[in-house]
Amino acid sequence: MSAEWKLNRRDLLGAGAVAVSSVLSGRGFAFESGSFVLEPDKDLIPAPRDPAMWPQFRQQLTQWRDQARKQLHYDDALYRRPEFAWASSSYCCCFLMMCDEAFYDTASGRYTVDAFLDDGAERFGGYDSIVLWHAYPRIGVDQRNQFDFYRDMPGGLSGLREVVHACQARGVRVYIDYNPWDRGTRREDRSDIDLLIDTVRDLDVDGIFLDTMTEGAAEFRAKLDAARAGVVLEGEGVPPLNRIADHHASWAQHFQDSPVPGVLRHKWLERRHMQHQIRRWSFDHTAELHTAWMNGSGMMVWENVFGSWVAWNERDRSILRTMLPIQRRFPELFSGESWTPLVPTEAAGVFASCWSGADVRLWTLVNREEQVVDGPLLKIQGTAGERYFDLISGDELRPEPRDSIVVLRGKMPRRGIGCFLATSSRSTADSLKPFLQTQRQASSRFRDDTSHPRRETRLIAPMAGPKAKSVPDGMVAVRPGPDTKLTIVMRMRECGYYDSMTDSEEGYWSSYNFQTREFQRLLEPRAYAIDETPVTNARFHEFVTRAQYRPRDDRNFLKHWDQGKPTAEQAEHPVVWVSLEDARAFAQWAGRRLPTEEEWQFAAQGGDGRAWPWGPNMEPGRCNDGSLKTTTPVRSYPDGRSPCGCLDLCGNVWQWTESERTDGRTRFCIIRGGSYFAAQGSNWYVDGGPRAANFATKFLLMWPGLDRCATIGFRCAVDLDA
């Protein structure tokens, strides 16, 4: 998620800010020389443009690192523990929306772990870890908290544990997510840390993603180690330097690099600290790829961004597919101490880092230019018997040394990467043969295509219902005129609108801060009838009894009833804890259908487009405003009647509409009306309380057990003959 905080200097440095501020910021260091000043307080330390300053840049980096580790009394004990070793080579992490249709198949009611991981291997080169994201942007529609969302996943915690084990069986580590801002839903009698520990233990996960956080509480580490070995903490923000020792990974989110590739500060201080580069709204990921490649660090793959589709282009996927196998083959180099940033190259706009081991030298190169570079790339000091390989193309190079100087040549696509390896070890060279063949195959798939793949959102065909010759009992007639245009308002909540595509990174951020956006939609000029009130518990009980209805997946079905029936006090309250499928089943049994969201809105507004069913303003006593903290009987507010004669349209409960859409990865439905419940304390929650007649909320769907909520009911509609 986007950070909901702004950090001051003390926040960034943590509790020990005063004691270590000078070393962490770089103050007191003689780092200025000529026109260049080292900036070690930057998350991505900018590099000088002038190559003549690069040796001094490296020297200053080394001096800062040595003094910082000394002044911090840096202890790398956790990085030396073998159970944490996986984190330093987790180069590709996938941010997974668990409601993604590529991960959970609604038709079969099953997780599709293997298919999802196979797709990741084919398109990106495979994942080393995944984040199981669960709650936002749906949390807050009712009282369920973030831990309830994991409990209410298909199969419950045991089903989710099987998912985790299936991923781990394929070498993929698994993170759960923690939302520290979730304070306005159901509170439990235990601390969040203890509940997280329980979840880690229940699911056997490998890490916790700390949403919106830079660091976890100091007590976290000891409790985690007691629950399960090797559980990594990874924050969305970068941890202060004095917490790198117990935070093995962090996001490198929206880092701004210098024209000459800079150095990741945390990675430089602790070479085994993994940072995942991420700009989730970007259509061009080459900047992140360059940073990861030059720093021996990782990438976050995230296409389904809370329900908005932001696909990677083929060029960026091609780069990642050739990059990852090299990182995975040489993790000891990329997490080792022999890293030399910014070694000289032979081509303008091409930059390189060097990584050295016992018998190998490896160079990672990036092409900052918008054109192909083909020719001499590196000039190095060779040694007798040394062999040279292009690890991107998969070819052995046979340069002719002159006075022990070797020129390595290659071809780099625009904004692309390169990689050379030199070794004097025959066994190392011979062992590369299968790897080089694989790299040749990956390189042959390279496509310089930067188009943004779209996924078209389609409306799932509405459920048809019979026509009524007259207005049925309990319904009111609605007869819109021709050319009736409705104005619909939605609030920006990262999940997008009717189309799940974002227009651009700039377009997203310009509409951020939870602004509202208006849409114009036409209402078909056909006569229909709509329920005067939402369907009640009593009426739904009649359906369940007479139709002997039982859903295929009954988790949370009518959760508020007592032994399969509503209490006398609940009888005239709107039915809740019903899914969209349950509502459709009732409508079909009753010879009706669900209203479209346009029909629902017109019934609430009438022809004059009023904001609320009773007029232009929200007024006390017109609806269930939440003060009673529960639902109320559907006829409790007769003064809230709409021009068409409907009651209980705003407040009390949200209402399903026949508006289900999908882009093949995200299913959603538009819910209307608001409810009595409003989670307080964070903008990340679903908008609560009564909502105006034109207000629409995009509600992501997954499976009935999660889709059923304490605050969502429905009413029915039927077409009229005249």
Check if the beta carbon of residue 254 is closer than 8 Å to that of residue 287.
no
Task: Label residues 146-157 b or e (16+ Cβ within 10 Å = b).
Answer: bbbbbbbbbbeb
Place of tokens 């048809």: 464
pLDDT digits (tens, 9 = 90+) for 508-530: 544 456 788 899 998 988 999 99
State the Cα–Cα distance between residues 179 and 139, nearest whole angstrom.
10
- Residue 9: the pLDDT is 29
Residues 6 or more apart whose Cβ sits within 8 Å of residue 535: 574, 575, 583, 586, 713, 714, 715, 716
Element (H, E) at 192: helix 192-203
Residue 564 shares a structural domain with residue 698: yes
**pLDDT over 90 at 150, yes or no:** yes
Last residue of a domain, one of 221, 253, 285: 253
pLDDT digits (tens, 9 = 90+) for 418-453: 999 999 999 999 999 999 999 999 999 999 999 988
- Residue 452: the pLDDT is 86
- Residue 17: the pLDDT is 30
- Residue 512: the pLDDT is 53
Residue 510 shares a structural domain with residue 547: yes
Residue 39 shares a structural domain with residue 110: no
pLDDT digits (tens, 9 = 90+) for 174-222: 999 999 999 999 999 999 999 999 999 999 999 999 999 999 998 889 9
**CA dihedral (102, 104, 110, 113) positive or negative:** positive
What residue numbers bound the domain in which 481 lies? 475-720
Band (454; pLDDT cuts 50, 70, 90):
confident
Asked whether residue 384 is domain-assigned, the answer is no
Averaged over 295-319, what is the pLDDT?
Answer: 96
Check if the beta carbon of residue 574 is closer than 8 Å to that of residue 631.
yes
Report residue 720: phi and psi, to 5°: -105, 145
State the Cα–Cα distance between residues 340 and 511, nearest whole angstrom.
42
Residue 1 shares a structural domain with residue 108: no
Name the pairing type of β-strands 417-423 and 360-367: antiparallel
State the Cα–Cα distance between residues 631 and 634, nearest whole angstrom.
9
Last residue of a domain, one of 227, 253, 279: 253
Report residue 2: phi and psi, to 5°: -70, 140
State the Cα–Cα distance between residues 199 and 120, nearest whole angstrom.
26
- Residue 319: the pLDDT is 98
Q: In the structure encoding, which two tokens stand for residue 123, read together?
A: 């398109």
- Overall domain count for the chain: 3
- Residue 15: the pLDDT is 31
Show the DSSP H helices in 217-352 as ranges. 218-227, 265-269, 286-295, 314-329, 331-334
**pLDDT over 50 at 10, yes or no:** no
Work out the percent of the chain whose per-residue pLDDT is above 70: 93
Asked whether residue 324 is domain-assigned, the answer is no
Asked whether residue 292 is domain-assigned, the answer is no
State the Cα–Cα distance between residues 602 and 607, nearest whole angstrom.
7
Averaged over 122-131, what is the pLDDT?
Answer: 98
- Residue 508: the pLDDT is 53
State the Cα–Cα distance between residues 105 and 99, nearest whole angstrom.
9
State the Cα–Cα distance between residues 523 and 483, nearest whole angstrom.
7
| Helix-helix angle 314-329:286-295, to 10 degrees | 10
Show the DSSP H helices in 306-371 as ranges. 314-329, 331-334
Asked whether residue 400 is domain-assigned, the answer is no
How are the residues of the chain apportioned to helix, strand and coil, as percentages rounded to the nearest 5?
30, 25, 50
**pLDDT over 50 at 7, yes or no:** no
pLDDT digits (tens, 9 = 90+) for 39-95: 999 999 999 999 999 999 999 999 999 999 999 999 999 999 999 999 999 999 999
Q: In the structure encoding, which two tokens stand for residue 277, read together?
A: 């580069």
- Residue 487: the pLDDT is 96
Band (101; pLDDT cuts 50, 70, 90):
very high
Q: In the structure encoding, which two tokens stand for residue 200, read together?
A: 């880690």
Q: In the structure encoding, which two tokens stand for residue 484, read together?
A: 């009736």
State the Cα–Cα distance between residues 520 and 537, nearest whole angstrom.
35
Last residue of a domain, one of 253, 269, 284: 253
CA 374 to centroid of chain Cα atoms: 38
- Residue 35: the pLDDT is 61
Asked whether residue 302 is domain-assigned, the answer is no
Asked whether residue 706 is domain-assigned, the answer is yes
Give 643-708 as a 3 state SS string.
Answer: CCCCCCCCCCCEEECCCCEECCCCEEEEEECECCCCCCCCCCCCCCCECCCCEEEEEEECCHHHHC
**Average pLDDT over the chain, rounded to an integer:** 92
Which CA distances in Å does 60 have to 13, 27, 38, 242, 273? 21, 13, 7, 20, 21
Query: What string of DSSP letters covers 70-92?
Result: HHTT---HHHHSGGGGGGGG--E
State the Cα–Cα distance between residues 693 and 605, nearest whole angstrom.
6
- Residue 14: the pLDDT is 33
Asked whether residue 210 is domain-assigned, the answer is yes
Check if the beta carbon of residue 683 is closer than 8 Å to that of residue 676.
no
**CATH value at residue 223:** 3.20.20.80
Check if the beta carbon of residue 87 is closer than 8 Å to that of residue 232.
yes
State the Cα–Cα distance between residues 560 and 542, nearest whole angstrom.
16
Residues 6 or more apart whose Cβ sits within 8 Å of residue 527: 477, 478, 479, 719, 720, 721, 722
**pLDDT over 80 at 549, yes or no:** yes
Residues 6 or more apart whose Cβ sits within 8 Å of residue 184: 140, 679, 680, 681, 682, 685
Band (501; pLDDT cuts 50, 70, 90):
low
Which of 274, 413, 287, 390 is CA-nearest to residue 335? 274
State the Cα–Cα distance between residues 367 and 350, nearest whole angstrom.
5
Residue 2 shares a structural domain with residue 119: no
State the Cα–Cα distance between residues 494 and 135, nearest whole angstrom.
13
Residue 62 shares a structural domain with residue 85: no
Residue 131 shares a structural domain with residue 42: no
pLDDT digits (tens, 9 = 90+) for 581-628: 999 999 999 999 999 999 999 999 999 999 999 999 999 999 999 999
- Residue 27: the pLDDT is 37
pLDDT digits (tens, 9 = 90+) for 330-357: 999 999 999 999 999 999 999 999 999 9
Residues 6 or more apart whose Cβ sits within 8 Å of residue 140: 184, 185, 679, 682, 684, 685, 686, 688
Residue 70 shares a structural domain with residue 112: no
Residue 44 shares a structural domain with residue 93: no
Check if the beta carbon of residue 605 is closer than 8 Å to that of residue 613.
yes
Averaged over 296-321, what is the pLDDT?
Answer: 96
State the Cα–Cα distance between residues 240 and 254, nearest whole angstrom.
17
**pLDDT over 90 at 465, yes or no:** no
Asked whether residue 607 is domain-assigned, the answer is yes
Which of 137, 68, 128 is CA-nearest to residue 683? 137
Residue 621 shares a structural domain with residue 517: yes
Question: Would you put residue 572 in left (φ > 0), alpha (ψ -120 to 50) or beta?
Answer: alpha
Residue 66 shares a structural domain with residue 111: no
Q: For residue 223, give the 3-state DSSP assignment.
A: helix
Averaged over 654-673, what is the pLDDT?
Answer: 97
Q: Which of 18-22, 211-215, 365-369, 595-599 has the lowest mean pLDDT?
A: 18-22
Residue 63 shares a structural domain with residue 156: no
State the Cα–Cα distance between residues 315 and 463, nearest whole angstrom.
42
Cα within 13 Å of Cα(363), Cβ side: 24
